Amino acid sequence: MAAVDLDDDEAARAIEPPVLRLTRVERRYPEGERWLEVLKSADLEIRTGEIVALCAPSGAGKSTLLHLAGLLESPDGGEVYLGGVATGSLGDAERTRLRRMEIGFVYQFHHLLPEFTALENVMLPQMIRGLGRKEAAQRARQLLSYMRLEARAEHRPSEMSGGEQQRVAIARAVANVPRLILADEPTGNLDPKTAHYVFDALQALVRASGLAALIATHNMDLAARMDRRITLDEGKIVEMA
């Protein structure tokens, strides 16, 4: 068989560790005198530039999976790796640092700070990280321009549409150049046309930035446009056709 030549980027992706890897992850919660097993020996890998849809009915454990991937919860068994680093033995301070530096969150509700403008909402996480105000403002304007929101930079959330607010939330999520985006029903509150527009913006940003993304959604039309679809079946992560 003839050898296949990979370009430098493809070769690098082939050997670098997954951005997110779950190995035999277990998560359970007390339920009266019993335990509710939410995740059972769950395995998952997501690599650079990959967008994965998480499709499962309510109550199946989507939020739990996102919380574990985002280091908001710790598994009862197994391990969560971020960029090849095992996170199970890390202390709270290091887990907080990883969340701040390596992970961007987008929720169904935008959670923008109402007293601040779109520009200031995107600047804040950068300034918390330690970036100066001038540099934070410059990057915030670049991101808002990329999301076609330059005209809304000085507007507060109450002065923007739902789709515009969610695009600001996406810009805020990537402001600190994370490796991983975790999104929980990011278009759930939007009408179909606006939902597709917001997803287009998110997808373009992930592709351009080389991020990895795990997106929980009930919108199967949007899920079909992602690289892979996974679901939860009796606590296990299963690839969908």
- Residue 204 CB: number of other CB atoms within 10 A? 12
CATH number of 49-74+89-239: 3.40.50.300
Which residue positions in the chain have pLDDT lower than 70?
A: 1-14
Instruction: Name the pTM for this structure.
Output: 0.85
Domain boundaries, the chain: 49-74+89-239
> Which parts of the chain fold into alpha helices (H)?
8-15, 62-69, 92-102, 118-129, 133-146, 162-173, 192-209, 220-223
Cβ within 8 Å of residue 180, ≥6 positions away: 19, 20, 46, 69, 82, 102, 103, 104, 211, 212, 213, 214
Say what the pLDDT of residue 8 is: 52
Residue 7: per-residue pLDDT: 55
The per-residue pLDDT for 14 is: 56
Cα→Cα distances 199→24, 45, 220, 223, 235, Å: 31, 22, 13, 10, 28
Cα separation, 86 vs 236, in Å, equals 20
The span from the CA of 171 to the CA of 110, in Å, is 11
* Predicted local distance difference test score (pLDDT) of residue 215: 93
Q: Check if the beta carbon of residue 231 is closer than 8 Å to that of residue 238.
A: yes
Q: Where are the alpha helices (DSSP H) in 43-90?
A: 62-69
pLDDT at 202: 82
81 alpha-carbon distance from chain centroid: 15
